[in-house]
């Protein structure tokens, strides 16, 4: 079988370089006033206000990284424990909708399982940005590993 898509996760320690830099910037701004004074002079914003805004933005970034990392760990564990479903069959009812410029929603069925994804879906699972050719076509027989999240079936692997 040829693998068309397989979800990958990054749970290595190098994932934390960017959030560590965010924390370092927060410490530098608070510990060494010269950094915040320079930016405050350039932007014409009071130093204390700049520190508060900068710290809030950096903390939002760190929280975002932490949430994304936890989702990657969850997906890695689901895949490692084989807590996903597999459907084999041929693609039926494949269609593309463009609800507004810049967005693309694709959908199809394999057997009785319905899949729908867009170019705005999470990068952890198969989405329209991963589908750049004509692989998904009616009649193409595939094997799809997927996880049901709420009412949506999220694809973690497609092979033919």
Within a domain: 96: yes
Within a domain: 51: yes
Residues 69/53, Cβ–Cβ less than 8 Å:
no
Average pLDDT score, the chain: 88
Separation CA 114–CA 85 (nearest Å): 13
Within a domain: 4: no
* pLDDT tens track for 22-50: 888 888 888 888 877 887 788 888 888 88
DSSP 8: -
54 pLDDT higher than 90: no
Within a domain: 8: no
pLDDT at residue 92, rounded to an integer: 96
| Number of domains within the chain | 2
For residues 27 and 71, state if they share a domain.
yes
pLDDT at residue 20, rounded to an integer: 86
Radius of gyration of the chain (CA): 22
* pLDDT tens track for 108-139: 999 999 999 988 887 888 988 877 788 899 99
For residues 90 and 73, state if they share a domain.
no
For residues 47 and 22, state if they share a domain.
yes
Alpha carbon 23 to its chain centroid, in Å, reads 23
Nearest-10 Cα torsion for 7, 13, 14, 20: 120
For residues 39 and 71, state if they share a domain.
yes
| 51 token code pair | 């520190």
pLDDT at residue 40, rounded to an integer: 78
């Amino acid at each position: 079988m040829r693998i068309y898509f397989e979800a990958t996760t990054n749970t290595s320690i190098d994932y934390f370089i960017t959030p560590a830099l965010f924390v370092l910037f927060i410490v530098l701004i608070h510990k060494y006033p010269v950094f915040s004074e320079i930016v405050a002079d350039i932007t014409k914003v009071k130093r204390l206000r700049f520190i508060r805004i900068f710290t809030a933005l950096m903390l939002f970034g760190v929280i975002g990284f932490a949430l994304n990392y936890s989702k990657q760990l969850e997906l890695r564990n689901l895949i490692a424990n084989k807590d996903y479903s597999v459907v084999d069959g041929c693609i039926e009812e494949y269609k593309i909708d463009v609800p507004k410029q810049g967005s693309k929603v694709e959908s199809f069925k394999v057997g009785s399982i319905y899949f729908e994804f867009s170019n705005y879906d999470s990068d952890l699972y198969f989405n329209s940005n991963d589908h750049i050719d004509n692989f998904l076509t009616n009649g193409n027989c595939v094997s799809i590993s997927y996880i049901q999240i709420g009412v949506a079936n999220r694809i973690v692997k497609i092979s033919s």
